[in-house]
Amino acid sequence: MLRITTEESGGFTTFHLEGKLIGAWVGELEGAWAHWNNSCEPPGRSRIDLSEVLFVDERGKALLKRLACAGAELVANNPFMRSVIDHLRPVGGGRTIA
């Protein structure tokens, strides 16, 4: 299960994720981010907070990489997710913050 909540603060929309980013939940995050991204004129700045994520499957990792390449900042404060983020760093685009 994955819980997604959003928060507007400091010029960012932060997507707080809790649980496991696996299977059908990957599509839920993708849909939530796409809905937000399509509703912003101009597109806003986004941050994906992965601090409470327990596990990410390969589809989830691929989505996180696409979101980072599209400009989303990936944030985590735990060693597991910092390690995942380090392996997803896009080349020439997006930002990740451990």
pTM (2 d.p.) = 0.84
83: amino acid identity, one letter: S
Pairwise CA distance, residues 12 & 4, whole Å: 16
pLDDT computed for residue 92 by the predictor: 52
87: amino acid identity, one letter: H
Number of domains in the chain: 1
- Angle (CA) 77 80 85, round 5°: 75
> How large is the average pLDDT for residues 25-32?
94
Residue 92 sits in a domain of what CATH number? 3.30.750.24
Domain that includes residue 22, residue range: 2-97
3-state secondary structure of 46: strand
In 1-98, beta strands by DSSP E = 2-9, 12-21, 45-56, 73-75, 95-97
Confidence of residue 73 (pLDDT cuts 50, 70, 90): very high
State both tokens at 88: 């997803």
